[in-house]
Structure 1
Amino acid sequence: MAVNFYITGWLTASAGVGLIKAFKEYGEESFTVEGNKIGIPEELIEEIPRVLANILTENYELKESLSVKDALQKALSPFRNFHNNHVVINNSSIKKWAEEKEGKVKSKDELKKLLEEYLTHVIFENILKSKESEKACFFCNERKAYLKGREVSVFDATVFTPLSGSLETVNNFFYNGRSNLYLCKECELFFLFSSFGFTRTPRGTYIFAYVPDLMETYSINNMLHIEKEFSKEWFDRSVAEIVKNIEKEKADWLLSNIYFVELEPFGRDKSKIYTFSIPPRVARAMKRYLDEYPKNLNSLFGTFLEYIYSGRNLYELLLLILSGYLFSESYKKGGKLPPPIKFGTAQKFLPKYLLFFIKFQEVLDMRDNVEKQINWAYAEGLNLRKEIFRNAENEERAKKKIQGISYRLLDAVRRRDTDSFEQNVIRAYLEVEREIPYLFVEAMKSGAFNRIAYAFLIGLNGGNKGDGEPSE
């Protein structure tokens, strides 16, 4: 008979991913996954202490001999940000059990065996051996919640600390100050696997990606575990790859339903929780343009995601990049710079692939068929640049001329002053004795100010022939 667990959101999904990962590492694959239900044979419940001991010691390095107490505390440390003060990692539980053991732990194998003994003891004595109540488990609705002494076991801060570390974060979980999310023995053990579903980043946070399909979620987070961040490479090899290989309707649905979670621990038992999903219009833009994301902009991919998920306009991102480029000397004298400004200060010229941000934003704004206009504005900026170089006495004068024009144009863009922008463009064309393109004036009047202005500025500050400007 199978013991079933049900995936209803990112919390239970993280436990499901962690369970699959841990059982696979243990060499046990007799579990079944049907949609968002995962089942394991009933007899494997008693194997859980050994499964946990195996994954906890998988990458553990024992650099010196430790006392039994210290060895257990270090081995169980991955649980602390997720299940703080749970009976499994409670210091009093560890201390009481360790007092009966003598000697030092000298090897990884010794630690693994010790951990199996400890987890088997504490889980059996405090959870599996407990009596059942009459309350149905909130999470599976198939089994009865168990009794902790005289109290019915509930989902609380020890079961998943980040979500229930304070009442302010989960007011809806409580009624008159008490949780009514009753918890059975099996589901409590199930939640112990959630820490293995998350990926620890170099920044000390924990991240998880969820879609309403458990095996797809498992696949996505496997790749996330390799990349350690929400990166372009991870998105390409996981989410984007899945999207490419399924029919359009399901792909659109998956992109619209993917959910990203980041936990930032602070203090002893609290975490800030950041969650974001992809709005339908963002999913539409990603489906259309994400494959074209330039590799040269990889350093800005995290910032790009942050902008589109939070609803910030990508023209704001471009403004920072152009400011960093045009005022690089001033910025370099300061301290730590935001990624877009830092990117701008590092450029010798503005590369054509920055047009990606313009095109993506226009699709976000539900404006189609503007790519030709964007490319045309870029080409006009590049042509004006060439004319300025051709008419200047020397290269240095040409660069200063372009810099001066760009300062004024960027200021007009920042203030959204179309009149000032037009006047400065007209003056620039007259100085090189070139006719102002009629389409340019018409485009500026048609509500296309941002896309025309930014594309033109990128072209005006683009690379000369031989500067290494990559082709599209």
Structure 2
Amino acid sequence: MVVKLTLDDAIYNAGVLGLCKIFDHAGLPYKRDGQTIEFKESNLEGFSEHYFSYLIKEHANDTSYAKLISLQIETVKDEKQLTQLNDTIENVKKWLTSNSYKNTYPFLTDVSFDFLEAANKLKKITLKKNQSIEDVQTDIKEMINLLSEIITHLRHPNAKRYLVPRILSYNLIQGFWTNVSFLHKSANKKDIYKTYDEYFTNAALAFLEKKKDEKKYSKNKFHCAACENKMATASEAFDLTWLQRVGVDAARKSSHYWDHQRDIFICPVCNLVYSCLPLGFKMAKGKGFFINNNRSIDELISVNSVSLSDGKQEVTRDELESMAYYKIIDFMINQAESRKEMEIENIQIVKYDRELETRPYTFNILSRNKLMLIDECKREFKKLVGKFIKLNDEYISLYQEVINRLYKGQSFTDLIYQLIRQMIDGKYKDTSSTYNILKISNHQFKGGVHYMTTEDLNKIRSYGYYLKKEYQSQETKLNGISYRLLNALKVKNPSKFMETLLQAYSYKKLSIPTIFTQILNDEKKFQTIGYAFLLGLHGYDGNEEKGENTNE
């Protein structure tokens, strides 16, 4: 029998994408036709093998297992190396005796080694009074040999096959769904492969087998909310209670339904699709994203095919997200070349953050104009990746702050104000990053009357720099001028700004640059010019590139 699935909402589409990735990894054939995929039911036989094989391929490096088998145990010659060895012993013992490891050992039948016994033998080595490293070399060698033996047996394929999925079931999958299959509270000691198939695969295959009886199937009345399938009884259907912060528990909260009667049902096939949800997201350190470009399956797969490596061993969430946007932009450019009249509008970006337990998903829309802004300011955005500032006792990512404002169509001036305020207070020195944000903010007005050229911005910033030099030995007075200018910008008072500026220049018997006359009749230009000038007044030394890597 052929199974047919069509794209729907963002969460379902992420599940469909995860399913496609599993099929591609396993080499299982399926047909992509517009917004629909079709595949034979045989693709689902023993599906757990393909599911966990892809999970291991994508995420094994993010587990304690990967850290364990990559440990380099070296000879100990001094106290510093002994401390490192003891830290390793402590970590290995903690991992080997954790529940995710202990509950998996019974299934490592091909590994003739007792990991728990070995873990109990691991002991930290301490130097007693008047002892030297040479005095404990026998103990050190014993621990090194034991650690090496543990690592050797952990590298057995059967150990990887069971340990990695069990670890990831808690570290990754449980953030997306829980309380069913291998994540049910009664299944923590069961075979993870069998448990998955029993709950997801077997139910889907049994349903498809019943569907072959067309006469009986045509009488089914319960329609799947995600696909064209119909079920004979409500007991044959599933709900979405098990999806984290998505599903409704019909038994406990029937008020969500009209007349308290449950009317949303999911067929066993779509239930399996939703289990692939975690594999549809690109993840980095507990955070991830999914690009819901649902024009077609091909486009959905293409635009989400962002490499996690990018030539690096580890990629941060900001770097991953940045790469995703450039992937979208490249995709748009290619589409524009192949289909001249088509423009991609309103691409939905779904962000996931496991730490936000009450609301792990955020849904944002990127229009073509916003994507073009990202493209045209690519240099500035890239330089914000990995830049942080401490505000209100919390470190925040400048990249995320700017992207979130872009999503919501908000102004960047409040952020620029905070950064410059920190500079004047001596708590922040990264003038370059603040200037990059100002250039992005200014770029929003490109083509309009509020737009300032980069040359003009650099010129204005240099005016601030040269005025700062005039006040070189009068820092207190300069800070007073800066605070008054900043407050005028905050309350959008160009007259007060000009008054302060005239006083500052007159005090040094200097003429005020004519470009400042533009701030009197254009509020947006006023703020752009004002902040550019203040950036020159604090930190800028006339060298465009100097200070790019300065961060505090």
Normalised-by-shorter TM-score class: 0.7 to 0.9
Offset of residue 376 of structure 1: 2.8
Offset of residue 157 of structure 1: 0.8
Question: Does residue 463 of structure 2 align to residue 383 of structure 1?
Answer: yes
Alignment of 1:107-256 (within 5 A): 115-123=192-200, 126-129=203-206, 133-141=220-228, 143-145=229-231, 147=233, 151-158=235-242, 160-164=243-247, 174-202=257-285, 204-212=286-294, 213-223=296-306, 225-226=308-309, 227=315, 229-231=317-319, 233-235=322-324, 237-247=326-336, 253-254=343-344, 256=346
Q: What's 1:433 paired with?
A: 509
Q: What's 1:371 paired with?
A: 452
Instruction: Find the aligned partners of 1:238 and 1:164 in 2 and give their Cα distance.
Output: 31
Code of the aligned partner of 2:486: L
Question: Does residue 497 of structure 2 align to residue 458 of structure 1?
Answer: no
Instruction: Find the aligned partners of 1:199 and 1:157 in 2 and give their Cα distance.
Output: 23
Classify 1:280/1:116 alpha carbon distance in 2 versus 1 (closer, same or farther; 3 Å).
closer
Offset of residue 369 of structure 1: 6.5
Instruction: Find the aligned partners of 1:414 and 1:171 in 2 and give their Cα distance.
Output: 50
Cα deviations by residue, 1:194-243 (Å, 9 ceiling, x for unpaired):
121123442x3443222124333334434275545254642454222223
- Percent identity between matched residues is 15
Alignment of 1:345-424 (within 5 A): 345-347=428-430, 352-363=435-446, 367-368=448-449, 370-372=451-453, 375-376=455-456, 378-383=458-463, 385-386=465-466, 389=469, 391=470, 395-397=472-474, 399-424=475-500
Contact 1:325 1:346 in 2 (8 A): yes
Q: What's 1:285 paired with?
A: 373
Q: Secondary structure at the match of 1:346?
A: coil
Kindly tell me the number of residue pairs found equivalent between the two proteins.
Answer: 421
Code of the aligned partner of 1:128: L
Code of the aligned partner of 1:180: D
Instruction: Find the aligned partners of 1:172 and 1:293 in 2 and give their Cα distance.
Output: 49
- TM normalised by structure 2 equals 0.65
Instruction: Find the aligned partners of 1:349 and 1:293 in 2 and give their Cα distance.
Output: 10
Q: What's 2:47 paired with?
A: 48
Match 2:401 to one of 289, 300, 303:
303
Alignment of 1:72-83 (within 5 A): 74=167, 76-77=169-170, 78-83=172-177
Contact 2:237 2:267 in 1 (8 A): yes
Cα deviations by residue, 1:104-161 (Å, 9 ceiling, x for unpaired):
xxxxxxxxxx5444444444654533556433323221x32364xx624143212x33
Instruction: Find the aligned partners of 1:450 and 1:172 in 2 and give their Cα distance.
Output: 51
Instruction: Find the aligned partners of 1:75 and 1:381 in 2 and give their Cα distance.
Output: 50
Code of the aligned partner of 2:12: T
Cα deviations by residue, 1:77-98 (Å, 9 ceiling, x for unpaired):
4443333222454344666xx4
Instruction: Find the aligned partners of 1:324 and 1:384 in 2 and give their Cα distance.
Output: 17
Cα deviations by residue, 1:440-459 (Å, 9 ceiling, x for unpaired):
22442233321221222223
Instruction: Find the aligned partners of 2:106 and 2:341 in 1 and give their Cα distance.
Output: 51
Question: Does residue 35 of structure 2 align to residue 36 of structure 1?
Answer: yes
Instruction: Find the aligned partners of 1:89 and 1:352 in 2 and give their Cα distance.
Output: 48
Q: What's 1:341 paired with?
A: none
Classify 1:14/1:266 alpha carbon distance in 2 versus 1 (closer, same or farther; 3 Å).
same
Contact 1:350 1:459 in 2 (8 A): no
Contact 2:464 2:535 in 1 (8 A): no
Q: What's 1:449 paired with?
A: 526
Contact 2:518 2:526 in 1 (8 A): no
Offset of residue 49 of structure 1: 2.7
Q: What's 2:90 paired with?
A: none
Cα deviations by residue, 1:315-343 (Å, 9 ceiling, x for unpaired):
111101111111124xxxxxxxxxxxxxx
Greater displacement, 424-433 / 272-281: 272-281
Greater displacement, 375-384 / 309-318: 375-384
Instruction: Find the aligned partners of 1:93 and 1:56 in 2 and give their Cα distance.
Output: 19
Contact 2:383 2:433 in 1 (8 A): no
Offset of residue 271 of structure 1: 4.6
Q: Secondary structure at the match of 2:363?
A: strand
Cα deviations by residue, 1:38-94 (Å, 9 ceiling, x for unpaired):
222232122423212323444273966634489686564444333322245434466
Code of the aligned partner of 2:290: F
Code of the aligned partner of 2:328: V
Q: Name the Cα RMSD after superposition.
A: 3.7
Instruction: Find the aligned partners of 1:266 and 1:348 in 2 and give their Cα distance.
Output: 31
Code of the aligned partner of 2:230: K
Structure 1: gaps of 5 or more residues: 99-113, 330-344
Contact 1:10 1:210 in 2 (8 A): yes
Q: Secondary structure at the match of 1:321?
A: helix
Classify 1:146/1:467 alpha carbon distance in 2 versus 1 (closer, same or farther; 3 Å).
same
Match 2:180 to one of 86, 98, 110:
86
Instruction: Find the aligned partners of 2:184 and 2:331 in 1 and give their Cα distance.
Output: 41
Q: Secondary structure at the match of 1:218?
A: helix
